[in-house]
Amino acid sequence: MEITELTVHELQDKIKNKELTISEIMDSYCKRIKENEPEVQAFITTYLDEAKEKAKNIEEKINSGKIDGNYVGIPIGIKDNICVKGTKTTCASKMLENFIAPYSASVIEKLDKENIISLGKLNMDEFAMGSSTETSYFKKTKNPWDLNRVPGGSSGGSAAAVASNMVPWALGSDTGGSIRQPASLCGVVGLKPTYGLVSRYGLVAFASSLDQIGPITKDVRDASMLLTLIAGKDERDTTSVDSGNKDYAKALKNDVKGMKIGIPKEFFGKGINEEVKQKLLETIEIYKELGAEIEEFSLDIANYALAAYYIIACAEASSNLGRFDGIRYGYRTPEYSNLKEIYKKSRSEGFGAEVKRRIILGTYVLSSGYYDAYYKKAQKVRTLVSNEFNKAFEKYDVILTPTSPVTAFKLGEKSENPMEMYLSDICTVSINIAGIPAISIPCGLDKKGLPIGVQIIGNKFQEEKILNVAYTLEQKIGFREKYKPEFKK
Ligand code: GLN
């Protein structure tokens, strides 16, 4: 196996056994990026020379006994809406094309402490709004399984970079599915943590009550390790909570005997592609063989979650993006005659079509005549969604659904039709609305050879449970050993 095909825990073993050095690992990744990036287009910024330099310095310090630790020198990729001090954080927008972050996000500080080395910033939908990474101002990332198809979004750069072995793991963010859906479309693992488990300090806000940072990895063990590194209370994010410094890798028991898995029938009906559905049904059979108890149930409020999500997310976005006014941050129009014109022209020229659509929609649902009819009603639906999940978790340990209703679609296929694009999130948004955790792992391929993902949902702060349930399936299926992206042209 090539170095860049290894998971992080496999790299750690090889470093420990002195089979690989940190510089060797770093050189392999830099080479891989040079080879694959022209086709895949996953990065907005790379820091290859700096990364190599850091690796060398770190190696010297290790050899002289100055530093040690399990993660020293491990490479990573970061979604470009997470601030890394002194480097560009663009959110894939013209608005922030030249924005240099004056501080690092809390998650980045945590990685820095471990001497993990970032290889660069990864492409995404503009301000994380989208499901295909096509709304990026800079480039269109391609799906490594088929280069004519999208990697999903909005963390499409992160998922494609992991799938094409340009980074061993990456950070993404998930507001309505942006970690899980691209992970599903690219055949990798993506975890959205419980709201509050990971600090949002330094994550450029899209919809603050829904956003969470989380891992995108090659396997479940790596996801549990990266979660362990980034989780924890942070004084600078008052919505973050103390979850007691858990080691999530300890939860991986490879055993689901006696566990109760709920199957909400609404997630297997209209709009779900037949091949996706069939693969999910096979997956459910595997869990039965492994000794889990399976029961179908109804979660009918989920039918309203998508509508509520797009109202709440747009409302919050319209408020959060108010700060990009041409004065304080980012792009300023070159020609203007008064203050109002600075605002108007900077925002008109700096934001792309999808971002504008959301700002307009969000401003509309918050306006005084429509607040009760839309925003308030959506908040009520949000409570009902949350209540229904709570009720379900009285009966079930975890809930299982498809991650995405379809496998990777063609570039351009949905970009002219926002409604169709929004439907990509039909299986993921209710999880953000309820603030609960969910993981997507690959469970097979469709007839075109494209990955299909299964989503495992848990109750608040039950990451250990969903990680174990996912891990047990992963061990049984052996997806990574069987299938590799083909870079089909
Ligand atoms: N695709 C969803 C949207 O466009 C989710 C985005 C996200 O999770 N950041 O809003």
Stretch 165-183: mean pLDDT, rounded? Answer: 98
Among 79, 142, 279, 414, the active-site one is 79
**C-alpha to C-alpha distance for 209 and 76, rounded to whole angstroms:** 27
Ligand 1 touching residue 130 (CB < 6 A): yes
Can 250 be counted among the known catalytic residues? Answer: no
Q: Which residue, among 357, 359, 385, 362, has the nearest Cα to 311 in the 3D structure?
A: 362
Can 224 be counted among the known catalytic residues? Answer: no
Provide the pLDDT for residue 243: 87
Confidence of residue 49 (pLDDT cuts 50, 70, 90): very high
Atom of ligand 1 nearest to the CA of 175: 8
Ligand 1 touching residue 195 (CB < 6 A): no
Stretch 40-49: mean pLDDT, rounded? Answer: 98
Domains and CATH numbers, the chain: 3-257+478-482 (3.90.1300.10)
153 Cα–ligand 1 center, Å: 7
Decide if 127 contacts 90 (C-beta within 8 A): no
Confidence of residue 244 (pLDDT cuts 50, 70, 90): confident
Dihedral over Cα of 214, 172, 399, 477: its sign: negative
Decide if 395 contacts 173 (C-beta within 8 A): no
290 Cα–ligand 1 center, Å: 34
174 Cα–ligand 1 center, Å: 7
43 Cα–ligand 1 center, Å: 19
pLDDT digits (tens, 9 = 90+) for 411-424: 999 999 999 999 99
**C-alpha to C-alpha distance for 126 and 216, rounded to whole angstroms:** 19
Percent of the chain with pLDDT over 90: 97
Q: Which of 81, 129, 310 has most ligand 1 atoms within 8 Å of CB, for mutation?
A: 129
Ligand 1 touching residue 402 (CB < 6 A): no
270 CB burial (10 A radius; 0-12, 13-18, 19+): exposed
Ligand 1 touching residue 176 (CB < 6 A): yes
Provide the pLDDT for residue 207: 98
Ligand 1 touching residue 126 (CB < 6 A): no
Stretch 31-58: mean pLDDT, rounded? Answer: 97
Residue type, 93: S
What sections of 98-247 are H helices per DSSP?
Answer: 106-113, 156-163, 180-186, 220-230
Decide if 425 contacts 305 (C-beta within 8 A): no
**C-alpha to C-alpha distance for 91 and 130, rounded to whole angstroms:** 12
Ligand 1 touching residue 428 (CB < 6 A): no
Provide the pLDDT for residue 179: 98
Provide the pLDDT for residue 212: 98
Stretch 64-75: mean pLDDT, rounded? Answer: 94
Q: What dihedral do alpha carbons 387, 127, 165, 473 form, nearest 10°?
A: 10
| Six-digit token string for 325 | 């006014």
**C-alpha to C-alpha distance for 365 and 207, rounded to whole angstroms:** 14
Ligand 1 touching residue 129 (CB < 6 A): yes
**C-alpha to C-alpha distance for 340 and 377, rounded to whole angstroms:** 33
Q: What are phi and psi of 387, to 5 degrees?
A: -60, -40
Confidence of residue 430 (pLDDT cuts 50, 70, 90): very high
Provide the pLDDT for residue 332: 97
Q: How many residues does the chain have?
A: 489
0.95 exceeded by the pTM?
yes
Atom of ligand 1 nearest to the CA of 129: 4
Peptide bond just before 208 cis, omega within 30 deg: no
Among 164, 178, 199, 430, the active-site one is 178
| Six-digit token string for 72 | 């020293």
Among 154, 199, 240, 346, the active-site one is 154
130 Cα–ligand 1 center, Å: 5
Ligand 1 touching residue 405 (CB < 6 A): no
Dihedral over Cα of 107, 112, 114, 120: its sign: positive
Provide the pLDDT for residue 10: 98
**C-alpha to C-alpha distance for 409 and 431, rounded to whole angstroms:** 23
User: With 90 as the cut, is the pLDDT of residue 329 above it?
Assistant: no
User: With 90 as the cut, is the pLDDT of residue 1 above it?
Assistant: no
Stretch 440-462: mean pLDDT, rounded? Answer: 98
Contacts of 463 (CB under 8 A, 6+ apart): 191, 193, 194, 197, 227, 246, 248, 251, 437
Provide the pLDDT for residue 14: 97
| Six-digit token string for 408 | 């990777």
pLDDT digits (tens, 9 = 90+) for 13-23: 999 999 999 99
**C-alpha to C-alpha distance for 194 and 330, rounded to whole angstroms:** 31
418 Cα–ligand 1 center, Å: 12
Which position has the token pair 């998650």? 107
Contacts of 100 (CB under 8 A, 6+ apart): 86, 87, 88, 89
**C-alpha to C-alpha distance for 435 and 368, rounded to whole angstroms:** 27
Q: Measuring from atom 4 of ligand 1, which residue has the nearest CA? A: 130
Ligand 1 touching residue 479 (CB < 6 A): no
Atom of ligand 1 nearest to the CA of 432: 8
Decide if 174 contacts 198 (C-beta within 8 A): no
Q: Which of 404, 406, 425, 430 has most ligand 1 atoms within 8 Å of CB, for mutation?
A: 425
Q: Which residue, among 29, 22, 23, 21, has the nearest Cα to 2 in the 3D structure?
A: 29
Stretch 299-314: mean pLDDT, rounded? Answer: 95
The mean pLDDT of the chain is 97
CB-side neighbour CA atoms (13 Å) of 381: 25
